[in-house]
Amino acid sequence: MIELEGVSKVYSQGFIRREQTVAVDNVTLSIKKGESLGLVGESGSGKSTLGRLALRLIEPTNGTVRFDGLDLSCLSRSELRRTRPRMQIVFQDPDTALDPRITVKDCIAEPMKVWHLAMPVEQKRLVVELMDLVGLQPDLIGRYPFELSGGQKQRVALARLLALKPDFIVADEPTAALDLSVQAQILTLIKKIQRSTGLTLLFISHDLQVIGQMSDTVAVMHKGKIVEEGRTCDVLDNPKDSYTRHLVEAAYESSAWMGKNR
């Protein structure tokens, strides 16, 4: 479904002295249809950049990104626009995806209007169905985003995105801004939706435990490169790369610490 081949991204900053940051360095990676790949690595390792490259929200400096067999760099503007609804992103902060001036109903219905996916008379019924799918009480339909909790806002953002019936989703630390109990609920919801709709998922997190819960396969990113990848259980049980071992040990230590201090 998604194939990245030799993909790099170099950011250049500054006008007088150009500074260059190699955020993603020659990455080759693929995700099969309906599978979930967890991308893990420390802050600044290039995870979000790689997620944006996979969606073609930013241009790679080098390499090829293929979506369902289509080389995204060869698509015309209108062809790329037509594939957009099929590829979506969930952000860490749901406020990024929600317009504070419109109600839950309009937030969820907006993509249906923009992409002409449903007749106006059908929209309300579809909004209610999507709210049910993401576990939102129907009486929240007239609320504005500022009248919702963080978890509810993330559910609205998910419903809004599911209105487009995407095939591929990049979830970039979608629960990092939520407290622990709400985090678990949203992760369970994303997993349930992924299983029931057969979505392909690139799940980004710096937390190996979350990745263990969410992904079939895992890729470990360090300084822009993928240093290890494989089935999640194999990589977590038997990490080969020294950086992965360090991440696994740190995850065990923090869970042991949490256990002791509970």
Ligand X SMILES: Nc1ncnc2c1ncn2[C@@H]1O[C@H](COP(=O)(O)OP(=O)(O)OP(=O)(O)O)[C@@H](O)[C@H]1O
Q: How far from 61 is each of 1, 2, 8, 14, 220, CA to CA, in Å?
A: 22, 18, 6, 18, 21
Between 22 and 133, name the residue whose CB sits nearer to ligand X. 22
Binds Mg ion by CB under 5 A, chosen from 48, 103, 194, 205: 48
Q: Which does 49 bind (CB under 5 to 8 A by kind): Mg ion, ligand X, none?
A: ligand X
Query: Under the criterion CB under 5 A, does residue 154 sit at the interface with Mg ion?
Result: no
Of the listed pieces 36-44, 95-103, 115-123, 252-260, which binds ligand X according to CB under 6 A?
Answer: 36-44
Query: Under the criterion CB under 6 A, does residue 45 sit at the interface with ligand X?
Result: yes
> Is the dihedral angle over the CA atoms 115, 117, 122, 128 positive or is it negative?
negative
DSSP 117: -
| Helices and strands: H and E segment counts in the chain | 9, 10
Residues 165 and 133: their CA atoms lie apart, in Å, by 13
Between 47 and 160, name the residue whose CB sits nearer to Mg ion. 47
- Interface with ligand X (CB under 6 A), residue total 13
- Shortest approach of Mg ion to residue 118 CB, angstroms? 33
Q: Are the beta carbons of 109 and 159 closer than 8 angstroms? A: no
- Shortest approach of ligand X to residue 48 CB, angstroms? 3
Query: Under the criterion CB under 6 A, does residue 206 sit at the interface with ligand X?
Result: yes
The b/e string for 225-237 (b: 16+ C-beta within 10 A; e otherwise) is bbbbbbebeebbe
- Phi/psi at 166 (5° precision): -70, 160
Q: How far from 176 is each of 96, 207, 210, 212, 215, CA to CA, in Å?
A: 14, 9, 10, 16, 17
Query: Under the criterion CB under 6 A, does residue 13 sit at the interface with ligand X?
Result: yes
- Shortest approach of ligand X to residue 2 CB, angstroms? 17
Which helix (DSSP H) or strand (DSSP E) does residue 143 occupy?
none
Residue carrying structure tokens 């969410």? 214
Of the listed pieces 39-47, 69-77, 79-87, 103-111, which binds ligand X according to CB under 6 A?
Answer: 39-47
Tokens of 22: 């190699």
Over the window 47 to 86, marking each residue x when it contacts ligand X by CB under 6 A and - when it does not, the resulting string is: xxx-------------------------------------
Residues 72 and 76: their CA atoms lie apart, in Å, by 9
Over the window 15 to 34, marking each residue x when it contacts ligand X by CB under 6 A and - when it does not, the resulting string is: ------x-x-----------
Residues 55 and 3: their CA atoms lie apart, in Å, by 11
Over the window 155 to 194, marking each residue x when it contacts ligand X by CB under 6 A and - when it does not, the resulting string is: ----------------------------------------
Between 43 and 181, name the residue whose CB sits nearer to ligand X. 43
Between 224 and 239, name the residue whose CB sits nearer to ligand X. 224
Which positions touch ligand X (CB under 6 A)?
A: 11, 13, 21, 23, 41, 43-49, 206
